[in-house]
Amino acid sequence: MGLGVRCYTSGMTRIARLALIVVALGTYAGAQTPAPSATVARHVDRAQLMRDVAVLAAPAFEGRATGTPGGVRARQWLVEQFTAIGLAPARDGAYTQPFTATTRNTRAILPGGRRFRAEYDAANVVGRLAGRDVRAATLVMTAHYDHLGVREGAVYHGADDNASGVAALLAAARHFTKNPPRHPMVFAALDAEEIGLQGARALVGSNLLPRGRVALNINLDMVSRSGANDIYAAGSYHAPWQTAMLQDVQHRASVNILFGHDRPEPRAAGLEDWTRSSDHAAFHEANIPFVYFGVEDHPDYHKPTDTAERIDARFFGDVADMIVEAARTFDARLQ
């Protein structure tokens, strides 16, 4: 998740958060999906899921900051995973989509009155699966692999943010490779999210996605930690047709799917609007519907203590299963 955008409700008590959700029920329909049933979908290899997080959050990748050796090593590892899974390269036989990421320090004035500007060699890792229906629009699943790197000698491991989303994306890619979807699917591990969603904007602005033929972006960012067993699905405010589909998914999920964090005031019932807080924002700006799966902040958010050891493996596995089930449902029901 981008720097400094998720600090709104993490200090609330569970009772306070539930109160907000109850208030929201009077403001919009479906703030919380029905309780899960006994029929729970299981799709992912949970041991593999945790292995993937542990690799990405390991010290060898040095926090995966854009343009650093650790970030390049993470990118190379992802190319190896896409290849092993059997995804087709999305660009001229290559999985990588290079672009130049930039940052500016507005406080630093160089000679001549110029502002300090840094450029980094960045790259998305993008693979695709053909759909059974050649007429169907494309589903795009995204998760950013970059994080904050090393700061003052401390590695910011970024296990939940966002090795967890990338691991869930890999699990989904493995599932759909073995169970071919009806829609074409693009799986994109994005770079430079933490410095302004630049990888997402590079992807949306490229020819790697069919113009006017993207049905939905499924964005995964921080999906592995919740003491309350809750995961938010943001996006239905902008695309209300998602609500019934996700309510149906709830019947086959072990986690509580909550709606919200996608509404402007005063309709937000006290929840901050996440519409532009992660890579799905680039799709939203291009008038492409999105659903963003993510948890609220926890004490290790954007700290060196966001390590794989602190992930709740049971919750993470349940969320990954739900994400795959949601993608399966969208694939079955969208035109």
Question: Which amino acid, residue 209?
Answer: L
The model's confidence at residue 33, banded by pLDDT at 50, 70 and 90, is: low
Residues 131-160: pLDDT tens digits? 999 999 999 999 999 999 999 999 999 999
Q: Where are the domains of the chain?
A: 14-94+122-333
Where residue 10 falls among pLDDT bands split at 50, 70, 90? Answer: very low
> Which tens digits make up the pLDDT trace of 200-246?
999 999 999 999 999 999 999 999 999 999 999 999 999 999 999 99
Q: Does domain 14-94+122-333 have CATH number 3.40.630.10?
A: yes
Confidence (pTM)? 0.88
